């Protein structure tokens, strides 16, 4: 709970003295330490950028699979996804998530290739964090809503309709895991960007 940073930062800097050998060495050491910190931080930021891109690409892949599997889940009679509100919910959220992760992945790839941001919003870190978190909640909610009914259906009959539903729900859950992890990185970025 207690934060040691402010104390560290209010320590007075060592005085620069051209005559004495020891204070100069102390200065060099302290500035080397600062550069090391900055370099380490840049490296970590780089890992985070790549990690965030990979997680969003996984999110895109899984949401797209969930969307395609659920949308093609029509086998006549009672075995049509459109007759159940839970499955319509899964499909709607999978489409939303595909669109969101698609835009985010495209944006990040564009930035990695050209070095410029596609949209120059001031609060893009905040938008990313909120977007990831909300999509993660929606994906989890839709998968949770569809699981009990699918479970009950599979107890009585196990056919291509129930199998496809289960596959689509699993893909939604995997997309949820990707976006939940991605929101951790986005949250970290957001809080370090605005911490001082």
List interacting residues with a second copy (CB under 8 A).
1, 3, 5-6, 8-10, 12-13, 15-16, 31, 34-35, 37-38, 41-42, 45, 49, 85-86, 111, 117, 124-125, 137, 140-142, 144-145, 147-149, 151, 180, 184, 187-189, 191-193, 195-196
Residue 66 to residue 81: CA distance in whole angstroms: 13
| In the complex, minimum distance from the CB of residue 160 to a second copy, in angstroms, rounded to a whole number | 22
| In the complex, minimum distance from the CB of residue 176 to a second copy, in angstroms, rounded to a whole number | 9
Is the Cβ of residue 45 or residue 158 nearer to a second copy in the bound state?
Answer: 45
Burial class (CB in 10 A: 0-12, 13-18, 19+), 33: exposed
Length of the chain: 196
Chain centre to alpha carbon of residue 148: 27
| In the complex, minimum distance from the CB of residue 117 to a second copy, in angstroms, rounded to a whole number | 7
Residue 59 to residue 93: CA distance in whole angstroms: 13
Alpha-helical segments (H) within the chain: 5-9, 21-71, 85-114, 124-156, 160-193
Residue 48 to residue 183: CA distance in whole angstroms: 11
Is the Cβ of residue 13 or residue 21 nearer to a second copy in the bound state?
Answer: 13
Is the Cβ of residue 5 or residue 22 nearer to a second copy in the bound state?
Answer: 5
| In the complex, minimum distance from the CB of residue 55 to a second copy, in angstroms, rounded to a whole number | 16
Task: Indicate the angle between helix axes 21-71 and 85-114, nearest 10 degrees.
Answer: 140
Is the Cβ of residue 80 or residue 117 nearer to a second copy in the bound state?
Answer: 117
Q: How far apart are the first and last CA of the chain?
A: 18
| In the complex, minimum distance from the CB of residue 125 to a second copy, in angstroms, rounded to a whole number | 7
| In the complex, minimum distance from the CB of residue 109 to a second copy, in angstroms, rounded to a whole number | 14
Beta bridge partners of 120: none
Is the Cβ of residue 102 or residue 133 nearer to a second copy in the bound state?
Answer: 133
Is the Cβ of residue 117 or residue 158 nearer to a second copy in the bound state?
Answer: 117
């Amino acid at each position: 709970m207690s934060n040691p940073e402010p104390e560290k930062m209010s320590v007075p800097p060592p005085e620069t003295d051209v005559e004495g050998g020891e204070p100069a060495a102390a200065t060099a050491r302290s500035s080397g330490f600062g550069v090391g910190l900055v370099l380490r931080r840049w490296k970590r930021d780089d890992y985070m950028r790549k990690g965030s891109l990979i997680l969003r690409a996984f999110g895109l892949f899984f949401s797209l699979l969930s969307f395609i599997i659920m949308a093609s889940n029509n086998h006549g009679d009672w075995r049509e996804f459109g007759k159940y509100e839970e499955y319509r919910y899964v499909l709607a959220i999978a489409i939303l998530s595909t669109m969101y992760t698609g835009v985010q992945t495209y944006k990040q790839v564009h930035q990695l290739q050209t070095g410029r941001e596609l949209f120059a919003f001031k609060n893009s870190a905040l938008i990313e964090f909120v977007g990831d978190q909300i999509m993660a909640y929606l994906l989890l909610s839709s998968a949770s809503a569809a699981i009990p009914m699918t479970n009950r259906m599979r107890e009585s009959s196990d056919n291509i309709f129930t199998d496809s539903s289960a596959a689509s729900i699993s893909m939604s859950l995997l997309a949820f895991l990707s976006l939940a992890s991605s929101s951790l990185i986005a949250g970290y970025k957001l809080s370090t960007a605005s911490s001082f």
